[in-house]
Structure 1
Amino acid sequence: MEQNREELLKHLAASLKDAKEDGGAILLVGAGNSVSAGIPPAQKLMKIAIENFPNYFTEEEQKLAKEDLSQLQYNDIMTKLSNVKRKELFKWFIEGNEDKGIEKAKLNFAHIAIAELLKQGYFSRILTVNFDPLLIHACYMVGMYPFPAIYDLGAMGKVNAELLHDPSIVYLNGQHVGFVQRNTTDQLEAHKETLSQIVRSTGCSKTWVVAGYSGENDPLMDALNELRPYNNWLYWLEYSNQVLQKESHNFLENDEECKVIYQCDADETFMNISYLLDCSLDFIERPYKELEMYLEEIRFETSKTSQHRYTAKIKKYIEILETNTAISQFKHADQVDMLLAYLEDLIANKIPSPHEENLKKIIEVCERISQLSPDHDATYWYWGDALFATAKLEGIDKNEFLEEAEIKYQLSIEKDISEDINIKARKLYELYRYQHSLTNDETTKNDLLKKALASLNLCTELSLEKAKVYSLLNEPKLAVSHLNKIKYKNKNTSILGSLLSFFNYSIEDVISDEDFHPIKNHPDFQHWVEQKQKESISA
C-alpha cells in the first residue's frame, strides 16, 4: 500500500526520535540541499563553467550548453578544468563575485534545521558531497557548542574510518578551501575505496537519511547499494516524483527497508521534521538560551579587568529577554506566525470547505491578525480580496462588502506603499470598475471612474487601463495621449516576441474593446488608429 508523504515524514520523525536514544542517525546530503542558498546545481554549474572558460571546451560542448545541457556529463565537464579553475568557480558562489553579478550564498532553512537536529542529537554524523561551508556556518548560527568535528576526506588517501569522532560533518569529496575538490570521473573513481570505508564503518544498523542527492555517476551510490540491508531504515528524500531510473538506484524502490519520500523540498521538509520532533530553533525563538550558554562555557575570570562587567551585561540581557513582557511579545509573534500560516493554507484552498465558508474563515483570520499585528500590510490585502470575492457571490449585500474591501485595500497600501504597489493599485482599479458595472447613476459612475484613475496613478508601470478610464470619462485627448505611451505588438511580431512582451497589446485589442467605444468616432482616436495600423504594416 502506497503511503502518503505526511505519513512517511511522521515515520521518519519517529525513527529519528528513537535514533537519538541510540546515538543519532546518519544524514547524507547532496547539492540539492544548497540550491535555495545560492549554490547552483550541477547542470547550471556546467553551463556557467563553459560560458566563463570557453577555451577549454569544444564547439559541440559550447553548443550543447546553450541548447541541451542534459547531453553533457558534469564529471566530464569538470575534467576539462584545472583544480585552480574549479576552485575559482566554486568560490564565486560561496563568497560572491560582484563583477559577475553573483551574490554570496546564504544559509537556507534546510541548513539551519539540520544543524539544530545535529545539535540536539537526532543526527550524529553528516556526510556531504558538497564543497560549501554552509552546514558549518549553520552550526555556528544555531549556537552548537562544542562544535562538531570537521573531516575533509578529499585530500586523504587511506583513512581509519573507525576513529571518526561524532558529532561530525564529513566532507567526502573535499571542501572549497581544501587542497582537493574531487569532482572529475578519475578523481571519484580513485576515491571509491575511501568512500566505501566511510559507509561501511558507519554501518547498516544506523538510521540513514539521504537528502538533495541524486547519486548519478557517483561511486558513493555503489557503496550505499553494497551496505544493504538497512536494518534501521534508509529514508531517501527525493525532490522529484521519481528516483533516477538506473540499476544502482533500483534497491530504493524495491527493498522494504528503504522508504522513498517524493516531492521533498529540502527547506520545507527539514523544517517540517523539526516541527514534528518539537525541535525548536532556540537562537531565534529563545535567544536568551545562547546567552546562558556563554555563562556556562566561558571562563570569565580569565579577563581580570572585564570579568564582572561582561557577566553583569549578559545576566542583564537574559533578565530582559526572560521578563513577562518579553515572553509575552515572543508568544504574540508566534500567534501571528501561526495565524499567517493558517491564512496561507486557506488562501491556497488546502483546507477543504465550501467556497463561502472558506471566505468567512479568511476574513475572521485576517481580523484576528490585524488585532495582533496592525501594521502587517499583506493581511489587509488578503482581507480585501476575501471581501471582494464575497461581494461577487449570489444573495449577498454587495455594497457592504465592496465598501469594506475598498477600505482594506487602501489600508494595505497605506501600511506599505512600496510593497507590490502595482498589484495593489490594480486590485483597487478592478474593485471600482466592478462597482461601476453595478450602477446606472451617471454621477456615481463618473465618481467611481475617477477613483479608478487615482488608483492607477499609484502604479509605476504603464497600462492600457488608464486609457480606458479616460475614454469612459469622455476625455479622448487624454486617452490618446496615454495610448501613445504604450508599445504594441504588430502583425509581424514573432511568437517568441509576443511571449516576451510584458503588456502584449495589439491595435486590434484597442479597437475591439468596448471601453473605447465612447471615443471611437473622435478624430483624435481615429487618427491614432490609422497611424498605428500604418506602423504595424510597415514594421
Structure 2
Amino acid sequence: MSKYSVKDLAQFIKKSKESDTPFVLFTGAGCSKSAGIPLAGELVEKINEDFELELKGLSKDDRQNYGKCMSVLVKEDRRKLISDYISKAKINWTHIAIALLIEKGYFQRVLTFNFDNLLARSSGLLGLYPATYDLTTADLDLHNLIVEPAVVHIHGQSHGFTLLNSDEETSKHAESLENFIASTLNQSPTLFVGYSGYADAFFPILEKKYTGQHRLFWSGRSKKEPEHLSTSLLKNYGSFAHYIQGEDSDIFFIELAQELGCFPPKIFENPYDHLLDELKHVTDFPLHESIHRDLFAKIKKQLKNDSEQYLKESLLDTDKLLIEGRYQELIDLYDNNSKLLETDLDNIALAYLRQCNDLIRNTNDFELEEIKATVIENYSKALEVKKDFYLAPFNLGVFYKDLASFTSEKGVKKIYVEREIEQYRKSILINANDYFTYNNLCSALLVLSDFTEDFEIKETLIFEALGASEQAIKIDDKEWNAYCLFGQAYFTLGEIKTVSNDKEKYFKLALNYFDSSNMAKPNNEFILDTSGLICLKLYTLTAKKYFLDKSFEYLNELDRLNPKKVYNLACAYALNLQLDKCRAMLERALASDTLPSKMHLLKDKDLDVVCELEWFKELISKAN
C-alpha cells in the first residue's frame, strides 16, 4: 500500500481550504515536549519524588500509572505541579507553525489534550488572537456557537477551574464529548499529532464516532503504524484514514508549513516589517482630549530604514534558506561560492541531510533499494562539507537499518546490519556523546548476534552491545529505551549460556534492567511481555514460585492493555497447571493472529503439559 507523505498531506490541506472545509487539528503531549513540558512518564517520576505521603495507599504498579498518581493528588497540587512546568516552558516551533497555519486559514480549529498555553503565546507572537474555549466548563449543547479560528482545550487549562487528570475524570468527560466529537469528525477533515491514543478514554470515542465522512490523518514517529490504529481506524477505514510517519512535531509542522509555502512567519522573515504591521493597530497617543499624535512616527521611520538594510544584508542568508526549506539552493552555494562562513557550511551539510531524509521518508519501503546510491552519495557529500558532521554517518546507519528491515534474504540482511554498525562506529569517532548513536549501535549488535551460531562471536557482539548501552545510560540516564536494550542484551546472554547458574545470573540482571525501564516507561507492551517471559525462564530454572507469580503480574497487566498478546500468559497458566485458562489464552491468540508458528509451539517446553491433549493437537493443526 502506498503511503502518504507530509507533501501529500499539504496538498489535502490546501484542497480542503479551497473547498471551505479547513482541517481540524488535534494535539497531544508530544507537541509540547520540546518546549520543556514533560510527558506522562516524567510527571509520574516527579510525583513519586514530591508526593510520597500522598501515594502511600497506591500499589507499586499504580505508582507508575499517571492517572492513578494524579487521582490521589488534590486539585491544587495538580495545578501547581503542571503550572510550574508551563511557567518555565519556551515557545517551540510546533506551536509557532500551528499558529501560522491557523493565520493562513489551513486550520479552522485546534483541539488540544494539553493544559499549556503554548499555542496562545505563539499566536500572540504572530499577532493572532484566536478564540479560546475550555470544554471542562463549556456548555457542550452550544458547541455550534464556537467562533473560528478557535483553540479548544479538551481536558482544561493550567490556569482554569478544572483540570482532568485521573482515569475516572477523563473517562466520564469523554462520554460527555461523544456528540461534539461526532460533529467534528463528520464536518471536517482531521489531523492528529503528538497524541498516542493508546490506553486512554478518548480513543474509543474516536473509533466509535469516525465514519469516513472526511479524511483523517494520524502522524507518529514510528515507521510502522501503532497496532491500536492498524487494527481499528486504519483497518476499518483504510481508504480515508491514513498514518504518516514523521519526525518530531517541530520538524513535522515546519515541513508542513514549508510545503504550504507560508514558512517562516513574517516576524522571523523580517521582524522590522512585522513590528511595523503591529503598530498600525495602535491608536494615536492622547495628549489632550482633542489632540492625538502618532508618537511612534520616529520609531516607525527607523524600523522602515532597518527593514531595508536588513533585506540588503539578507541576500546571502543561508539561515533563511534553511528555514524556508530551500535545500537545493543551499547545496548549489557550496559549488559556486568560496566565501562561505563556518555557519554556512553547517547549513549546507544540514541541507544535504534534510533533503536525504525527505527522500527516504517519501519513498515506499519496497522501493528503498532504488534510492540507495543517491542516499549514500548525499550523506557522503554532507560529511565532505563538514568533516565533523556526525549526523551524516548516523543517518546513513539508520538507512541501512531500514534496508535490512525490508529485505527477506538473510545474507543481504546481515550485510546491511554490518554496514549499519560500521556507520554508527564512524559517528561515535566524530562525536562520542550522542545517546541515540550508542542506543542504535547496541540494538544493531544484538541483531547481528542472531546471525551467527559461533558462541564466541555471539558473546563478543553481546558484550559490545552492553558497552554501547552503558555509554548511552551515562549520557542520559532518564531514557527508558537504553535500560530496555541493556535488559535485552543480558537476556540474550542468558539464552546462549549453557550453565544454569550463568543463565540465572544474566536473566536476573535482564529483569532488573527491564524493571528500571518499566518505571521510566510504564504500560509498555514489549517491556511487560519480555519481563513476563524472563520470569518464566527463571521459574523453569529455579522452580521458585516467586518468579511464576511475578510473571503473572507482568502478563496480566499486558492482557489488560492488549488482550491479543496473551501467548506468554498461556505458557504461565500451563506451568501453573491451569490448563483450561491456558487453552483459552492460546485460542484467543489464534483468533487474534498472534499465535507463534507451529514449530515454535511444538518446541516450547512450557507447553509440554498440554502437548498430548486433543484440543492442543487441534489448535496446532490451525497454526501457521
TM bin, normalised by shorter chain, reads 0.5 to 0.7
1:160-184 Cα shifts (integer Å, max 9, x gaps): 1111110000011100100110111
1:165 aligns with 2:163: no
- Aligned partner of residue 177 in structure 2, secondary structure: helix
Distance 1:24 1:84, change over 3 A: same
Residue 181 of structure 2 is aligned with which of 199, 202, 208?
199
1:2 aligns with 2:8: no
Residue 218 of structure 1 is aligned with which of 176, 181, 200?
200
TM-score by length of 2: 0.52
1:258 aligns with 2:241: yes
Is 1:115–1:142's contact at 8 Å kept on the other side of the alignment?
yes
Distance 1:334 1:230, change over 3 A: farther
Q: How does 1:8-407 map to 2 (within 5 A)?
A: 8-21=5-18, 22-58=20-56, 61-62=59-60, 72-95=64-87, 104-144=88-128, 147-156=129-138, 158-246=140-228, 250-255=232-237, 256-280=239-263, 281-300=265-284, 302=286, 307-321=293-307, 323=308, 325-334=309-318, 337-338=321-322, 339=330, 340-344=346-350, 346=352, 350=356, 352=373, 366=385
2: CA distance, partners of 1:195 / 1:111: 25
Distance 1:152 1:360, change over 3 A: closer
Q: CA deviation at 1:58?
A: 3.9
Q: Comparing 19-28 with 153-162, which one deviates more in the overlay?
A: 153-162
Counterpart residue number, 1:442: none
2: CA distance, partners of 1:150 / 1:79: 27
Is 1:162–1:201's contact at 8 Å kept on the other side of the alignment?
no
Number of aligned pairs? 363
Is 1:23–1:121's contact at 8 Å kept on the other side of the alignment?
no
Q: Which has the higher contact order (CA 8 A, sep 6+)?
A: 1
Counterpart residue number, 1:373: none
Is 2:30–2:193's contact at 8 Å kept on the other side of the alignment?
yes
1:107-163 Cα shifts (integer Å, max 9, x gaps): 11111111111111110100001001111111011221xx10000122346441111
2: CA distance, partners of 1:178 / 1:265: 29
Q: CA deviation at 1:301?
A: 5.7
Distance 1:262 1:248, change over 3 A: closer
1: CA distance, partners of 2:470 / 2:29: 36
Q: CA deviation at 1:246?
A: 3.7
Distance 1:61 1:91, change over 3 A: farther
Larger radius of gyration: 1
1: CA distance, partners of 2:316 / 2:42: 42
- Aligned partner of residue 186 in structure 2, secondary structure: coil
Q: Comparing 248-257 with 170-179, which one deviates more in the overlay?
A: 248-257
Counterpart residue number, 1:446: none
Distance 1:54 1:148, change over 3 A: same
2: CA distance, partners of 1:214 / 1:243: 11
Q: CA deviation at 1:258?
A: 0.4
Q: What is the root-mean-square deviation of aligned Cα atoms in Å?
A: 3.6
Counterpart residue number, 1:449: none
2: CA distance, partners of 1:93 / 1:285: 30
Distance 1:199 1:495, change over 3 A: closer
1: CA distance, partners of 2:378 / 2:123: 45
- Aligned partner of residue 331 in structure 1, secondary structure: coil
Structure 1 letter corresponding to 2:254: M
Counterpart residue number, 2:622: none
- Aligned partner of residue 11 in structure 1, secondary structure: helix
1: CA distance, partners of 2:194 / 2:474: 36
Q: CA deviation at 1:311?
A: 3.2
Q: CA deviation at 1:242?
A: 4.3
1: CA distance, partners of 2:375 / 2:181: 52
2: CA distance, partners of 1:245 / 1:497: 27
Counterpart residue number, 2:548: none
2: CA distance, partners of 1:110 / 1:216: 22
Counterpart residue number, 1:464: none
1:381-432 Cα shifts (integer Å, max 9, x gaps): 669x99xxxxxxxxxxxxxxxxxxxxxxxxxxxxxxxxxxxxxxx98xxxxx
Counterpart residue number, 2:488: none
- Aligned partner of residue 191 in structure 1, secondary structure: helix
Structure 2 letter corresponding to 1:344: L
Q: CA deviation at 1:216?
A: 2.8
Is 1:295–1:311's contact at 8 Å kept on the other side of the alignment?
no
Is 1:301–1:307's contact at 8 Å kept on the other side of the alignment?
yes
Q: Comparing 166-175 with 38-47, which one deviates more in the overlay?
A: 38-47
Is 1:346–1:362's contact at 8 Å kept on the other side of the alignment?
no
Q: CA deviation at 1:290?
A: 2.2
1:416-465 Cα shifts (integer Å, max 9, x gaps): xxxxxxxxxx98xxxxxxxxxxxxxxxxxxxxxxxxxxxxxxxxxxxxxx
- Aligned partner of residue 240 in structure 1, secondary structure: coil
1: CA distance, partners of 2:469 / 2:230: 44
- Aligned partner of residue 162 in structure 2, secondary structure: coil
Is 1:222–1:248's contact at 8 Å kept on the other side of the alignment?
no
2: CA distance, partners of 1:222 / 1:236: 15
2: CA distance, partners of 1:230 / 1:63: 38
Distance 1:216 1:382, change over 3 A: closer
Distance 1:249 1:26, change over 3 A: farther
Q: CA deviation at 1:224?
A: 1.9
Structure 2 letter corresponding to 1:271: I
Distance 1:360 1:44, change over 3 A: closer
1: CA distance, partners of 2:197 / 2:376: 44
2: CA distance, partners of 1:166 / 1:46: 35
Structure 2 letter corresponding to 1:148: P
Unaligned runs of 5+ in 2: 323-329, 331-345, 358-372, 394-428, 431-465, 476-624
Distance 1:134 1:27, change over 3 A: same
- Aligned partner of residue 298 in structure 1, secondary structure: coil
2: CA distance, partners of 1:497 / 1:231: 47
- Aligned partner of residue 297 in structure 1, secondary structure: coil
Structure 2 letter corresponding to 1:2: S
Distance 1:333 1:186, change over 3 A: same
2: CA distance, partners of 1:64 / 1:108: 32
Q: How does 1:355-504 map to 2 (within 5 A)?
A: 366=385
Distance 1:343 1:136, change over 3 A: same
Counterpart residue number, 2:435: none
1: CA distance, partners of 2:262 / 2:275: 19
